[in-house]
Amino acid sequence: MAFRDEERVVVSKVTSRRPSSAGEGPLMKEAHEPLESHGPHWAFTAFELDLDGYVDQFNEQVIGAYSGGEGGALPADVGIARSLVPPGTGVFRDFSHVSPELPHFIADKCVACMECVTACPDTAILGKVAESHIVDAEAEAILDEGERDDFRAQWVETTKFHGVYAKKGETGGLFAIYVDPAKCKGCGECVEVCGSHAALEMVTKEEPLVQRYRTRTQHMQSLPESPERFLARKLPVDTMLKEDRSLLYVGGAGSCAGCGEATAIRMMLAATGEEYDREDIGIVAATGCNTVYGSTYPHNPFRVTWSNSLFENAPTVAMGVRTRWEQQGWGHKRLWVFGGDGAMYDIGFQALSRLLASGMDVKVLVLDTQVYSNTGGQASTSTLTGAAAKMAPYGSAIPGKVERRKELANIAMMHPGVFVAQTSTAYIPHFYQAIKDANAYPGPALVNVYTTCQPEHGVADDLSQLQARRAVTSRAFPMFVFDPRKGERMRERLSLRGNPGTADDWATDPKTKQPFDFVEFARTEGRFAKQFSADGKPSEALLAAQADRLANWHLLQELAGVGQPAAAEKPAPKAAPDKAAPKAEAAS
């Protein structure tokens, strides 16, 4: 549908006030009644919609009604008819009743690594850097002494944000971590990635503690954003400190506790938001887990334009959107497609291939859970050999998944002129760089990311990042980047940098000093549990799966010229010319 430039959607910032169920406004207007204009509006049908008024009234009235359990009593309106939900309404959703535990911050042990903030799938744990006089001013304004002391106790002098600057004769900053109890689902992922720093621990949730966390969050959010001078080094782990640009996924989504997909989406949007204004970012999401938890009316976790397509045709819809954007002179905008195994590996595979072959400037984020998570855990062509899943059960006749896994990223490399990355959120610099390079690439790009699905993989809620790291280490899911701009030959374009033990068959576990192969990875997940005997011996099916993973790794090594420097430098022998055949151009 065509829009005049002045009629584009203008995204209004979500207010922080608590919604109520009362009030009149644009939602209550009848179709024949005039609307008071508060700003830009749509005028392409007989119905006009005051966007600014609609956003404010939606936050007050619709959110208020749903919070009070009265959503069914709301009248129909033009916004609902157009399937509109304002951006960022997920901030109003409260999950404080979900988990029996919350993470507790131990300030004096924190090193400001930001791994907890990056890993959180729910935007529930956030970091902030502040000048000491800003912290003092906020503390002095707090009347309650206990509340004031609690606020001050969250701030710490770290080497990263204080010591480094003090050595240069500059004023250092204070760093704090705070937890929003309304967003935290208690997965414990933050505690797991904090690891030996031990700056976070899970504690029993009680109402006084929840209220104290709410008060802390209010004080932290009232402070200015982290000063730019502390972010000048552009460290990937500090991306989430750039709140207005990077926090484009506000939480409030109904994803499972510890969901690997949600972390990937948050990080992808943070990396993109660093380079592009949020009004210049659009998403076409294929139906799947990401659309179910990402569009539970009326709570929208996205602060960017988002649209849901059918299971099988999100790439096709994106091609149409991109075409229209180009016609309107919006070539600078970034358009991303989201989809899981079904949408990209299986039923939507043809549409994806068509997009990649088109040369259009559309980026694709594949949320690879190796199973149909949304529909109950059926096997897909992405499922690893040997895994037990619906449609691939383990029993006397069938030893789990017997087919070999389809390597979507490998296939994508064979499409001319396509940027491809296979990555993991557990390797933060690799993931962020892959997203930034995909955004900068002048054509189609595909980023395939390993996303742990706790219930279907059979792992604990706090192990999303650890399992993603193990998948890379064990060659179950190798990381690589394929950039056609890097050269003419495959080994110039393909890089395996970032994988542990790149030149070896198997990486070495730094703790045990033993090879960490696919069988060892399988021991850590419930989906492979039946492939082991009572004394821990792997089945023949699992050994075959391990051979498959090693063969795929060897293929990537060969294509990248890793482990065979002498062969890589030797020129290929020249074939004798066939005088009877017409000349053909040399292939690169």
- pLDDT, tens digit, 9 for 90 and up, residues 211-251: 999 999 999 999 999 999 999 888 999 999 999 999 999 99
Pick from 260, 125, 266, 106: nearest CA to 186: 125
Distances (CA, A) of 528 to 154, 471, 506: 42, 13, 20
- What integer pLDDT is reported at residue 571 of this predicted model? 52
DSSP line for 398-434: -BS--SPPP-HHHHHHTSTT-EEEEEETTSHHHHHHH
- What integer pLDDT is reported at residue 108 of this predicted model? 97
pLDDT in tens, 521-550: 999 999 999 999 999 999 999 999 999 999
Q: Quick one: tokens of 240? A: 């989430």
Residue type, 420: V
Q: Give the integer Cα–Cα distance in Å for 331 and 114.
A: 34
Helices (H), 524-573: 540-560, 565-569
Residue type, 460: A
Q: Give the integer Cα–Cα distance in Å for 124 and 262.
A: 12
Q: What value, to the nearest 5°, has the Cα angle with vertex 79 and ends 74 and 85?
A: 90
pLDDT greater than 70 at residue 46: no
244 CB neighbour count, 10 Å cutoff: 11
Class of residue 168 by CB neighbours under 10 A (exposed 0-12, middle 13-18, buried 19+): exposed
- What integer pLDDT is reported at residue 32 of this predicted model? 46
pLDDT greater than 90 at residue 503: yes
pLDDT greater than 50 at residue 588: no
pLDDT greater than 60 at residue 9: no
Q: 493 near 487, Cβ under 8 Å?
A: yes
**DSSP secondary structure code for residue 369 in this structure:** -
Helices (H), 90-242: 115-119, 132-140, 145-152, 164-167, 189-194, 207-222
pLDDT greater than 90 at residue 182: yes
**How confident is the model over 205-211, as a mean pLDDT?**
94
The CA-to-CA distance between both ends of the chain, in Å, stands at 42
Quick one: pLDDT band at residue 50, thresholds 50, 70, 90? confident
Q: 30 near 48, Cβ under 8 Å?
A: no
pLDDT greater than 80 at residue 376: yes
pLDDT greater than 80 at residue 471: yes
Q: Quick one: tokens of 586? A: 């040399």
pLDDT greater than 90 at residue 103: yes
β-bridge mates for residue 72, sequence order: none
Pick from 364, 369, 351: nearest CA to 451: 369
Domains of the chain: 5-86 (no CATH), 101-244 (3.30.70.20), 248-563 (3.40.50.970)
Strand order from edge to edge, sheet including 363-368: 305-309, 281-286, 334-339, 363-368, 445-450, 419-424, 480-482, 494-495
Mean of all residue pLDDT scores within the chain: 89
Q: Give the integer Cα–Cα distance in Å for 25 and 378.
A: 46
Q: 116 near 193, Cβ under 8 Å?
A: yes
- What integer pLDDT is reported at residue 468 of this predicted model? 98
**How confident is the model over 107-132, as a mean pLDDT?**
97
- What integer pLDDT is reported at residue 233 of this predicted model? 81
pLDDT greater than 60 at residue 29: no
Pick from 342, 339, 340: nearest CA to 380: 342
Q: Give the integer Cα–Cα distance in Å for 51 and 56.
A: 9
Phi, psi dihedrals of residue 414, rounded to the nearest 5°? -80, -5
114 CB neighbour count, 10 Å cutoff: 23
For the entire predicted model, the pTM comes to 0.88
* Length in residues, the chain: 588
Q: Give the integer Cα–Cα distance in Å for 356 and 351.
A: 9
In this structure, are strands 173-179 and 125-131 parallel, antiparallel, or unpaired? antiparallel
| More confident position, 192 or 510 | 192
Q: Quick one: tokens of 538? A: 């792997």
- What integer pLDDT is reported at residue 47 of this predicted model? 56
Percentage of residues of the chain with pLDDT beyond 70: 88
Pick from 484, 414, 425, 428: nearest CA to 449: 425
- What integer pLDDT is reported at residue 308 of this predicted model? 93
Long-range own/partner contacts, residues 505-508 (CB < 8 A, 24 or more apart): 505/550, 505/553, 505/554, 506/474, 506/475, 506/550, 507/473, 507/474, 507/475
Distances (CA, A) of 138 to 211, 215, 229, 415, 470: 19, 13, 21, 56, 43
Whether omega for the bond prior to residue 86 falls within 30 degrees of 0, making it cis, is no
Distances (CA, A) of 385 to 339, 449, 553, 557: 22, 18, 15, 21
Q: Give the integer Cα–Cα distance in Å for 297 and 308.
A: 13
Rg (Cα) of the chain, in Å, rounded? 26
201 CB neighbour count, 10 Å cutoff: 16
pLDDT greater than 60 at residue 303: yes
**DSSP secondary structure code for residue 343 in this structure:** I
